[in-house]
Amino acid sequence: MGINFIHGSDFHLGYVQYGLHERFVDFATTFKAFIKYGIEHDVDFILIAGDLFEKRNINAPTYLQAYKVFSWLQEECKSIGREPVPVIAIEGNHDLAYQRDRNSWLQILESQGMLRLLNSTEDNSLKLDYVDVGDCRVFGVGYLGASTMQSIPLIAEQIQKINQGVDRFTVLTMHFGMEEQARSVVAGEIPYNALLPLREFVDYLALGHYHNQYEYDHWVYNGGSLELFSLNEYGLKKGFYHVTDGGARLVTLPTRQFKRLSGNISSVKTPNELSLLVQSIVESEAPVDSKLPPIVELTLWGNLNFPKKEIGLPEIKEMISKRFGCLYADVHIKQTNDYYTVHESDITGMSREQIETKILREQVLQDGRYKAYVKQVVSDTVEAKKLALQRIDEKEIIRWLKQSFNQIQLHKKHAREESNAGELPFVRGDVT
């Protein structure tokens, strides 16, 4: 028989991005395309690793979207003469029921025969829920939040017990984010080492929660959300996995395109000049090649030299719409603080690196915390920029910066200890 399933997550049905009905529909259309892919590839089951819905208390139209897609799945399968493809799901943080509601909407869909919700419970001890389908055994644990980490060894132990004497391809689906995968620092992330107790007993760990694609060691997989949920996700890889005997392959679906533009307004003196600037920005960008009208975001940043209310936003949006035929144009004005302004007379004759060094130095001294290490902080920041320009992997750069930071912390600690001992501390970069 072999292994054949798809694994997706974070569909966020019910999200009305920018308040646009079209975006509300987009999320459901993409979800349906995911299900359709599963049917067309004759998979044994479809796995949803949490956050099918955008919120706990979805409205009727959102419920109807989900219901329609699942009914369509059943009818489509019937029409081609096969049993409905089983849908197996867990609850993500967005799907959990409010205590007063008792039932989550995924539980309602389960009671209607639309999906199988894996509902592992944790009253006194952990009770794992699973289903056998095709050549696979699928365990599922919904969103655990802060107790995710401590549950991992217990889950491993339970799977080992339950699987004794059984030789099936073991899938575990959970909803959490892994360390260093988000663009910002998030509390409660799981480091890879914490997953190791599962390694021996789980063949495929199907994750959901973070909206970017990532995987570890050919056994931990997170496809991300298929739709761009926010502009913070711009440029991130996203998709779902099609898992067969040959391994897990990332599949991406065509979705509505986003385009991000930006321009510096510091040298603009009048609203009229601003129009010209926007026009040149817009015209220097190639039109978006896609079936659906795109969404375009323009950020204008720098010093604004005239009152903000004189900015002709409708006119700017119109220029964007005309050029890209977009569904929606979003314009942000990010005025930078005067403090950061560099006067031209201060920097004439300086190289770019000298200018950067000067500005960074002022920033570090102003901040105060790393005053004593200003030389190191500045040179390492400039170095990080060079690495980025050489397109060194961002993880590598982060690791390198962390190393520099740890070094400073260590110096600080030693300096404290030594000064306690009544000696003069030697600190790198202390005298400048």
Number of residues that bind Mn ion (CB under 5 A): 4
Binding mask 208-227 for Mn ion (x = CB under 5 A): -x------------------
Work out how close the CB of 98 gets to Mn ion at its nearest, in angstroms, rounded to a whole number.
16
Give the alpha-carbon dihedral of 67, 70, 71, 73, to 10 degrees: 160
Q: Which is nearer to Mn ion, 51 or 54 (CB)?
A: 51
Site string for Mn ion, 347-386 (x = CB under 5 A): ----------------------------------------
Residues of 326-347 as b/e, b for ≥16 C-beta within 10 angstroms?
bbbbbbebeeeeeeeeeeeeee
User: Judged by CB under 5 A, which stretch of 92-100, 260-268, 275-283, 357-365 contacts Mn ion?
Assistant: 92-100
Are 169 and 204 a contacting pair, CB within 8 Å?
Answer: yes
Shortest distance (Å) from residue 238 CB to Mn ion: 14
Strand partners, 48: 8, 89
Of residues 93 and 299, the one with the C-beta less far from Mn ion: 93
93 binds Mn ion (CB under 5 A): yes
Find the shortest distance in angstroms from Cβ 34 to Mn ion. 17
Residues 152-211 that bind Mn ion (CB under 5 A): 209
Q: Is 191 exposed, middle or buried (0-12, 13-18, 19+ CB in 10 A)?
A: exposed
Please count the residues of the chain: 432
**Sign of CA pseudo-dihedral 205, 210, 216, 218:** positive
Site for Mn ion in 10-69 (CB under 5 A): 51
Question: CA nearest 209: which of 194, 193, 229?
Answer: 229
Shortest gap between Cβ of 396 and Mn ion (angstroms)?
28
Distance CA 217, CA 107 (A): 33
Beta bridge mates, 221: 206, 215
Cβ at position 50, least distance to Mn ion in Å: 6
How far apart are the C-alpha atoms of 135 and 133, rounded to whole Å? 6
Cβ proximity to Mn ion: between 11 and 201 the closer is: 11
Tell the smallest beta-carbon distance from residue 210 to Mn ion (Å): 8
Amino acid at 199: R
Question: Which region, judged by CB under 5 A, interacts with Mn ion, from 90-98, 104-112, 225-233, 267-275?
Answer: 90-98
Identify which of residues 51 and 110 has a Cβ nearer to Mn ion in the complex: 51
Which positions lie near Mn ion, rule CB under 5 A? 51, 92-93, 209
